[in-house]
Structure 1
Amino acid sequence: MTQRSLAGWRVLIGRPAGRSVGLIRLLAEHGASAQAVPLIDIVPPEDSAELDAAVLTLAAGEVDWVAFTSVNAVAAVLERAAALNVAPAIPAGTMVAAVGPATAGALRAAGIAVDLVPETGGSGAALAAVFPTAHRDQTVLLPRSEIAADTVPKVLRDKGYAVAIATAYRTVQRPLPDSVVADLQTGGYRALIVASPSGVGPLAAVRRPDTALVAIGAPTADALRAAGLTCAAVAHSPTDEAIVDALLDLAAVTYAPHDRKDRTST
């Protein structure tokens, strides 16, 4: 009988250690060892004028909705609001949408009520899909990464909203530590968890083809395929449980036990 276990697996998580504590613990409960390494850095826009104008408009209550598609967007808006000395950053009358539980949690931790979160999906497309149809020319502010896809604004415009987009942050690739590069090149990891499309580039050139790539969400899976890489599994929600479930399914169905000595000595 096939068992759902990750015994003997070593997993690389492509995001900061501080955001991976629960996932590392859950993987250990299923027998895997895991290491978290950030693949990108989040940096402010080269020019903050657009974001500053958006933050001031938001604080003045001049938009009906603000939609956050990442924790990074929440942090960027709150940081600029503090720098501009405006409070509250989001008035009580403004509706707030969050892409998933982590983003909603970041908002609530800042004392901001969240009005809309998709039950499943954890992607921008899932968030846009659950937005109600606009009435009376409602407006949505969308603070986001400079490389974000146009999926969310397109769907919202189709639903009748006037969408204002502000670049809240940029992503830049971070060089991998030499020890991680060496382990990637020698097959030291059984699976790599890619947390966002921005994380695809740092891994593409150095990992072995037989190391499984696991994407968090459909956009990241699409980015892997666009780079000519095989996506072995997709976690359809950005929760730790969904990521581990994707790995367990992969272990049970696709891959034989990982023992390179045994495979090369026969």
Structure 2
Amino acid sequence: MCVRAPRLRLSSALSWANTWQGACLKLAPRTFLNRWGGSVANATGSRLAGKRVVVTRTLEQSELLSRELEARGATVRLVPLIRFAPPEDPAPFDAALRALGKFDWLFLTSQNVVRAIVDRCKSSNLSFPPERMPRHIAAVGLATAAAAEKAGMKVDHIARGERGRALAEELAPQLPNCAVLLARSDRANPDLPEALWQIGARVTEVVAYRTLALAGAAEQILDEIVRGEIDAVLFFSPSALVEKIGKDRLRQVSARVTCVAIGPVTASAFRAAGVERIIVSQQASVSGILEALSQCWSQEMQLGVKLG
């Protein structure tokens, strides 16, 4: 029998994050910070002033991050390396959305998944949130949980780890014989569904969106790096990294600018490519990224050398 999980309100989740992941104001997006009276803008000093930072995401995905970087005096260039598209065959995704109420758990591994679910419901004339939702919803990270809450979903569990597999590990006692819906990218790592199957969960895995390369974007960044016009590049996913730039060029890039890997999965992709000169932001939150950059450039100023 699938074990029923206690419902977790996001206000409680923030308190929980304070215990497990450090001060919650350092991790939470602006929607949470405003609610509890915090401010991202004062999280770090002005060590970013004058720095030229490339964000490899769209404005829709990085508006708050761009605004906070600019508030610290940085010049921001948005150069997305990838784009997202609906599944080639949306039928499995549509069927899963129509049957949401039949699942015990819905696992949300990124904000992109939340956006894909909402967009597909709208384009298919399905009400969202529907009258019947899965009994429980789990999310990877506070940013994903915030996106789910904004869309009208109630999150029961927020993973302590930043990898999707953390959901299987943390919820293992509750998942045997549970029906779990896993809607993700076509390029998603297979480790989460494999872990769920080993636990004994009944997994329905569907493609919610495709991850595609943007032609010419990587070359644009490389040209600007060669001309000395960039101080740092922020990478958010393995899909935007090795496959789009290449291992050899990636090592050349890391020798010239500060490369920031957002999250442990992206950091692992760097190391798999033989690149060790990186700065890692373990959290994908705005404040986590700002802190990683600030600490890096603070050390450079103190030591008089380039880190990365």
Interval containing the TM-score (normalised by the shorter chain): 0.7 to 0.9
Structure 1 residue 171, shift from structure 2 partner: 0.7
Percent identity between the aligned chains?
A: 34
Structure 1 residue 29, shift from structure 2 partner: 4.2
8 Å CA contact retained: 1:7, 1:30: yes
**C-alpha separation between the residues in 2 aligned to 1:19 and 1:34?**
14
**Residue 154 of structure 2 aligns to which amino acid in structure 1?**
A
Structure 1 residue 252, shift from structure 2 partner: 2.8
Q: Does 1:236 align with 2:276?
A: no
1:215 corresponding residue in structure 2? 261
Matches within 5 A, 1:40-59: 40-58=82-100
**C-alpha separation between the residues in 1 aligned to 2:142 and 2:176?**
29
Structure 1 residue 71, shift from structure 2 partner: 1.6
**C-alpha separation between the residues in 2 aligned to 1:187 and 1:128?**
44
**Residue 25 of structure 1 aligns to which amino acid in structure 2?**
R
2:17 corresponding residue in structure 1? none
Residues 6-37 of structure 1 deviation map (CA, whole Å, 9 limit, x = unaligned): 33321111111232222223223444322222
Kindly tell me: are residues 155 and 213 of structure 1, through their superposed partners in 2, closer, same or farther at Cα, counting changes over 3 Å? same
1:174 corresponding residue in structure 2? 214
8 Å CA contact retained: 1:40, 1:198: yes
8 Å CA contact retained: 1:192, 1:212: yes
Match of 1:24 among 66, 79, 101: 66
**C-alpha separation between the residues in 1 aligned to 2:128 and 2:60?**
27
Q: Does 1:185 align with 2:222?
A: no
The count of aligned residue pairs is 254
Structure 1 residue 227, shift from structure 2 partner: 2.8
Q: Which moved more, 1:199-208 or 1:242-251?
A: 199-208
2:16 corresponding residue in structure 1? none
Q: Scaled by the length of structure 2, what TM-score is found? A: 0.73
**C-alpha separation between the residues in 2 aligned to 1:148 and 1:24?**
26
Kindly tell me: are residues 112 and 81 of structure 1, through their superposed partners in 2, closer, same or farther at Cα, counting changes over 3 Å? same
Q: Does 1:164 align with 2:210?
A: no
Match of 1:76 among 116, 121, 124: 116
**C-alpha separation between the residues in 1 aligned to 2:91 and 2:85?**
15
Q: Scaled by the length of structure 1, what TM-score is found? A: 0.84
Structure with a larger share of its residues in helix: 2
8 Å CA contact retained: 2:106, 2:134: no
Q: Does 1:94 align with 2:144?
A: no
Structure 1 residue 125, shift from structure 2 partner: 2.9
8 Å CA contact retained: 1:6, 1:31: yes
Q: Does 1:144 align with 2:184?
A: yes
1:262 corresponding residue in structure 2? none
SS class of match (2:298) = helix
Residues 186-231 of structure 1 deviation map (CA, whole Å, 9 limit, x = unaligned): 2321111001111103344476332121111111111122233335
